[in-house]
Amino acid sequence: MKECVTKGRCHLYIEDVEKFRAILSEIDDEDTLSSITKVFKALSDPTRIQILYLLQKGDLCVCEMESILEKPQSTLSHHLSILKNTDLIKPRKEGIWIYYTLLKPDIVKFIDFFNPKDTLKKINVIK
């Protein structure tokens, strides 16, 4: 007979608990959880989401983003630093300009999943 671990409150058995623990063991170390949490925190700001959408179409420098987003350089630098620290974007220096590249394009597809306007389809990034 299966042993219920919740003392009859629900039907969770020891075998099931072990299966769930095995699933969690794949992500249940401090570094992995911290990394995942940092990405979600990085995605929690509208300006950073706009930057990711822009970089989906190609590399941009800060001055181009300033013009497009109408935000000051200091604000953009702050947001770019957060995105860079989560390995979502990468800077590339060309002369005196620093261009930013989207390293994980699928993150924008993930964001767009929650966007009822299907932005990526409209800008011809996905079909």
Q: Please write the tens of the pLDDT for every residue from 41-67.
A: 999 999 999 999 999 999 999 999 999
Contact 79, 51 (CB under 8 A): yes
Which stretches does DSSP call E strand in 11-116? Answer: 60-61, 89-94, 97-102
The count of domains in the chain is 1
Which stretches does DSSP call E strand in the chain? Answer: 60-61, 89-94, 97-102
Q: pTM for the whole thing?
A: 0.76
| Residue 118 burial class via C-beta count within 10 angstroms: exposed 0-12, middle 13-18, buried 19 and up | exposed
Q: What is the CATH number of the domain that holds 73?
A: 1.10.10.10
In a domain, 16, yes or no: no
> Which residues does residue 97 pair with via DSSP β-bridges, in sequence order?
94
Q: Which domain holds residue 50?
A: 43-122
